[in-house]
Amino acid sequence: MVKHLDEKTDALPDHVGWRLWQASRAWQTEFAAAMRAAGHGWFTEARAGLLGHITRGGMRQSALIERSAISKQAIQQLLDGLEADGIVERLPDPQDGRGKLVRYTRKGLDALRDGDRVKIEIERRYIGRLGAERFTALMGALRALAAGQPAARDDKAGAEDQIVESN
Amino acid sequence: MVKHLDEKTDALPDHVGWRLWQASRAWQTEFAAAMRAAGHGWFTEARAGLLGHITRGGMRQSALIERSAISKQAIQQLLDGLEADGIVERLPDPQDGRGKLVRYTRKGLDALRDGDRVKIEIERRYIGRLGAERFTALMGALRALAAGQPAARDDKAGAEDQIVESN
DNA sequence: GGCTTGTAGTCAAGGTACTTGACTACTTAA
DNA sequence: TTAAGTAGTCAAGTACCTTGACTACAAGCC
């Protein structure tokens, strides 16, 4: 699929990496636009990536740090912003004086609900465009690729990350 | 595919958006690691995205700006860095006193060559993991999705971008 | 010629999303 | 009770983007 094009050709590339990137980007753009349309203007990609790791019941900040691929300082900065925007709140952990619990606010839970709805809508559109069979094949291939990856390589940004999950 | 999980579940999500992101990320990580291993330590994702738009024969900086989805100032900053690292060089355009030509240096062309090789290697591994049939189905589905997108939506970051193409 | 408008590129300042390093507060185990 | 580890914060710096304001040159018009 990686074609050798000669000197002056302007053709767009057509290798797996680009196609995956293109599709992923399109999904994210669609999702972010729908979230903004739903009134969640505070929504950004980085925040989505972090929120995806926070369970609906809330969790320790340290647990969040373990789950995410980024540094604890980066997480803290993102949480500072999310807290300032009223999406999450941080409470002292009664079990451990050092720890803090990160919990969704009402506003945050509303956003999660809308996020789920948007995901389903997008998926429905994809199935409409590709047909159920092709869509299933796509998901199967992507899952197979993910299963082949050892979850977290020597690199930090392994396969554990995500954009807005639905735990 | 978007499952509704109850309060405390920690299961990873399994919707198209996440799977696409995961696969795209894995590809990029693999590509970047291979490029670093090949001695191209200057390589970053943003630079790759820009380099992908520069034809092997070189081109006008203004043409590069038209092709890329980002601002001309951002492109200039990236080019400043690439020039400082000796990947590209900028020459005055003899045809137009305002313009500049962006051209690969020897070092830049070497990187492109290695990039093509790495892309082929990764693709080969993917085919090995999925089987030729499934891989073809994956590419077909991704292409169909891309074809369904109107190339550039109202949003700036449309479907025209890419990570290191092979023009 | 001179004048206006448009294009090519640069400079400056600001924001987001990260990084590493150094620190405080608390817990746990010897 | 003290040493060592864990949880979180503070500070400073980098990469990659943005918008706004600017200079230099080109091209069309009179």
A:97-156 residues touching chain B, CB 8 A cutoff: 116, 119-120, 122-123, 126, 129-130, 134-135, 137-146, 148-149, 153, 155
Place of tokens 């380099």: B51
Residue A167: the pLDDT is 38
Rg (CA), chain B: 19
Q: What is the mean pLDDT of chain B?
A: 83
B102 half-sphere exposure, CB direction, 13 A CA radius: 25
| Contact by Cβ (8 Å): B40, B51 | no
Residue-wise pLDDT for B23-33, tens only, equals 988 888 888 88
- Give start and end residues of each alpha helix (H) in chain B: 16-37, 45-51, 61-67, 72-84, 106-130, 132-148
- The 10s digit of each residue's pLDDT in B152-167 is 333 333 333 333 433 3
How far apart, in whole angstroms, are the C-alpha atoms of residue A20 and residue B24?
5
CB contact under 8 A, B145 and A26: yes
pLDDT of residue B161: 36
Q: How confident is the model at residue B12 (pLDDT cuts 50, 70, 90)?
A: low
Residue-level pLDDT at A22: 84
Measured at the CA of A164, the angle between CA A159 and CA B1, to 5 degrees, comes to 85
Nucleotides on chain D that have an atom closer than 7 A to a protein CB are 5-12, 15-20, 24-27
C-beta of residue B68 within 8 angstroms of C-beta of residue B53: yes
Per cent of chain B over pLDDT 70 is 81
**Pairwise CA distance, residues B45 & B51, whole Å:** 10
Domains and CATH numbers, chain A: 16-148 (1.10.10.10)
pLDDT value of residue A12: 55
Q: How far is B85 from chain A (nearest CA, A)?
A: 23
Give tens-digit pLDDT for B67-78: 998 999 999 999
Provide, rounded to the nearest whole percent, the portion of chain A with pLDDT above 90. 63
Lowest mean pLDDT among A93-97, B34-38, B163-167: B163-167
Token pair in block for residue A106 = 């009402």
pLDDT value of residue B8: 37
Residue of B130, B16, B142 whose CA lies nearest to A149: B130
Q: Determine, for residues A24 and B29 on separate chains, whether the beta-carbon distance falls below 8 Å.
A: no
**Better-predicted residue by pLDDT, B95 or B151:** B95
* Beta carbons of A26 and B144 less than 8 Å apart: no
Q: Tokens at residue B13, please?
A: 């999500």
CB atoms within 10 A of CB B123: 18
Residue pLDDT, tens place only, A46-92: 999 999 999 999 999 999 999 998 999 999 999 999 999 999 999 99
Model pLDDT for residues A101-157, shown as the tens digit of each residue: 999 999 999 999 999 999 999 999 999 999 999 999 999 999 999 887 644 333 333
- Strand C neighbors by CB, 7 A: A 44-47, 49-50, 69-71, 73-74, 77-78, 81, 96-98, 156; B 60-62, 65, 72-73, 76, 79, 90, 93, 96, 98-100
Q: How many CB atoms neighbour CB A140 within 10 A?
A: 14
**Matching residue, tokens 């990160």:** A102
| A10-53 pLDDT per residue, tens | 445 688 998 998 898 888 888 888 998 899 999 998 999 999 99
Chain B CB contacts of A141 below 8 Å: 130, 134-135, 137-138, 141
The pLDDT score that the predictor gives to residue A159 is: 33
